[in-house]
Amino acid sequence: MKHIIILLFFSSLFAGGDYQSPAYSLLHAIPFVGILLSIAIIPLINHHFWEHNFGKISLFWSLSFIVPFYLLVHSFSTVFEVLVHTLTFEYIPFIFLLLALFTVSGGICLKGSLVGTPILNLMLLILGTFLASWMGTTGAAMLLIRPLLRANKWRINKVHIIVFFIFLVANIGGSLTPLGDPPLFLGFLKGINFFWTTKYMFLPMLYVSIILLVLFYFIDSYYYKKEINKPTETTDLKTIEVTGKINFLFLLAVICSVLLSGFWDPQYPVHIYGHVYMELQNIVRDILLLIITFLSVKFTSPEVRSQNGFTWFPITEVAKLFIGIFITIIPVLSILSQDGGSLQWIKDLCYNDIMYFWVTGLLSAFLDNAPTYLVFFDVAGGNPDILMNKLSSTLLAISSGAVFMGAFTYIGNAPNFMVRAIAEENGVKMPSFFGFMAWSFLILGLTFISYSMIFLM
C-alpha cells in the first residue's frame, strides 16, 4: 500500500485551480491495456518477480496514464480532481467493502471431518451459490474457499474445483439481490427495486447454475475416480464446528451498512475537492465498514485466523492491482460514456437484448463491471421505471451480462483474484490468466449462448 500512499501524496502537492473537462483519446487507454497484459503475461514469465513487484507494476501503469494526462490538460488541479473522483466514488467504496467482507469472513473457521468427494464439493458449491446473493460474492467466497481447500487437500486433481467455485460462488451466485454484486447495487441506487433482481434474475440464475453444477459433478466424479490414494475416512457432519461466530454479527453489520447507503438519503452532499462531492450516507457507510473491520480483528482470536490459514496477501494484491486498474480505466470509461465518441460503435452494437447481454458482459469481463453496467444502463435510457417494466428484458440482459460474465477472467470480479491467491497459497497451481479464460470461454461461453437464446430472444 505504500506505493498508493506515495502516489496520492505527490498528487495532493499540486492540488488547486479550476477544473478543466478532460478530452481523452484512445492513446490514453494504452496504460490500461498495459496493466491487463502485465497481469496476464508477467506471472507466466517470472512468477517470483511478479509476487514481489506487482505493486510497483501497478504504480508504473498508473503514472503512465497520469503523466500524459497532465501533459494534455496542463493542470495539476484537473489531474488531482479526476483522481480524487475515481478514488472517492469507485476505489475507496470498492476496497473498503472488500476489506470488511474479507476480514470478517476470514474470521469464521469451519472445522470438521470434511473429505472432498464429488457429493461434498457439490454441496459446498450449492451452499456458496445460495449465500452469495445475501452476503455478497466476496463474503460467500471467503467463507467457503478455505474449508473447500482443506477438504480437497489430499487430491491431486483439484484445479477444476476452484475454477467452478469462481464461476458459481464468486460471480453467478450474486445475481439475486443488490447485496450480491456491485453492478446490482448501483442499479438499486439508481432506483431499481431491491427485489426486482430477485424476481427477474431467479430463473436465469437457476438455469445457469444448474447447468454448471451438473457439469461440475460429472467432471469432479471423473477426476475423483482417477485419484489413487483415496482417504479411508468419510465426511462426518457431526464433527463440523464453527469458530469465530462473533463474525456473523459483524457480517450482518456489513450488510446493514451497505443497505443504509441505499435506503437513507439525508440529501447532504459533503465537499471533497473541486467539483467532487460525496453523499453523507456513503461516507457513513465507508466509515462503518472500517470500524467493522477493526472490530473483527480485535474480537477474533488470532488462533481462529491461524487455523483458517488466513493471511492479508490476497486483499493486498487486490488493493494494489485494482487501484492501477481503476486509474488507468478512467479514459476508457469516459470515452465509452460519450455520445459519438471513439467507442460509439460498441454502444451501437446494442440493437437488441441479446447484444446488450453480450456487449455489457464481455466489457465487464475486462473492465470494471460496475461502471460498465452504468454505461449501458444509460444507453438503455436510464429511466428505472421504464427499465423495470416496459424494458424489463433489456435490464435483465444488462444485469445478467454484468454479473455472469465477471466469471470470464480473473479481473472480471475482485473475488476471483482473492480466490486464486488463496488457492495458490494452499499449493494449488491455478491456471494462468489466459488458461483461466480457456476454461471460462469453453464452459461459460456455451452456457451463456443457450441462456441468451432461451431468456433474451
Q: Could you tell me if residue 427 is left (phi over 0), alpha (psi between -120 and 50 degrees) or otherwise beta?
A: left
Read off the amino acid at residue 164: F
- Residue 89 — pLDDT band, cuts 50, 70, 90? confident
Give the model confidence (pLDDT) of 141-152 as tens digits.
Answer: 999 999 999 999
Give the model confidence (pLDDT) of 347-373 as tens digits.
Answer: 899 999 999 999 999 999 988 788 889
In the chain, the percentage of residues whose pLDDT exceeds 90 is 58
Q: What is the 3-state secondary structure (H, E, C) of the chain?
A: CHHHHHHHHHHHCCCCCCCCCCCCCHHHHHHHHHHHHHHHHHHHHCHHHHHHHHHHHHHHHHHHHHHHHHHHHCCHHHHHHHHHHHHHHHHHHHHHHHHHHHHHHCCCEEEEECCCCHHHHHHHHHHHHHHHHHHHHHHHHHHHHHHHHHHCCCCCCCHHHHHHHHHHCCCHHHHCCCCCCHHHHHHHHCCCCCCHHHHHHHHHHHHHHHHHHHHHHHHHHHHHHHCCCCCCCCCEEEEEEEECCHHHHHHHHHHHHHHHHHHCCCCCEEEEECCEEEEHHHHHHHHHHHHHHHHHHHHCCHHHHHHCCCCCHHHHHHHHHHHHHHHHCHHHHHHHHCCCCCCHHHHHCCCCHHHHHHHHHHHHHHCCHHHHHHHHHHHCCCCHHHHHCCCHHHHHHHHHHHHHHHHCCCCCCHHHHHHHHHHHHCCCCCCCHHHHHHHHHHHHHHHHHHHHHHHCC
- Residue 337 — pLDDT band, cuts 50, 70, 90? confident
Q: What is the reported pLDDT for 16?
A: 39
Supply φ then ψ for residue 272, to 5 degrees. -100, -55
Is the pLDDT reported for residue 19 higher than 80? no
- Residue 454 — pLDDT band, cuts 50, 70, 90? very high
**139 against 11, higher pLDDT:** 139
**316 against 233, higher pLDDT:** 316
Section 253-264 average pLDDT? 89
Q: What are the domain boundaries of the chain?
A: 31-455
d(CA 68, CA 23): 12
Is the pLDDT reported for residue 280 higher than 60? yes
d(CA 170, CA 164): 9
Is the pLDDT reported for residue 171 higher than 50? yes
Q: What is the reported pLDDT for 22?
A: 65
Give the model confidence (pLDDT) of 321-334 as tens digits.
Answer: 999 999 998 898 88
- Residue 6 — pLDDT band, cuts 50, 70, 90? very low
**14 against 101, higher pLDDT:** 101
Q: What is the reported pLDDT for 3?
A: 43
Is the pLDDT reported for residue 235 higher than 80? no
d(CA 140, CA 84): 31
Q: What is the reported pLDDT for 254?
A: 92
**104 against 13, higher pLDDT:** 104
**250 against 16, higher pLDDT:** 250
- Residue 335 — pLDDT band, cuts 50, 70, 90? confident
Give the model confidence (pLDDT) of 385-422 as tens digits.
Answer: 999 999 999 999 999 999 999 999 998 888 998 999 99
Query: Which of 29-43, 165-179, 210-224, 331-345 shows the lowest per-residue confidence on average (mean pLDDT)?
Result: 331-345
Q: What is the reported pLDDT for 206?
A: 97
| C-beta neighbour count of 47 within 10 angstroms | 12
Is the pLDDT reported for residue 57 higher than 60? yes
Q: What is the reported pLDDT for 110?
A: 83
Q: Roughly how many angstroms between the first and final C-alpha of the chain, as a whole number?
A: 47
Q: What is the reported pLDDT for 159?
A: 96
Q: What is the reported pLDDT for 4?
A: 40
> To the nearest whole number, what is the mean pLDDT of the chain?
89
Those residues with Cβ within 8 angstroms of residue 233's Cβ, 6 or more apart along the chain or in another chain: 113, 115
Q: What is the reported pLDDT for 341?
A: 81
Q: Whole-model pTM above 0.85?
A: yes
Is the pLDDT reported for residue 2 higher than 70? no
Section 297-321 average pLDDT? 91
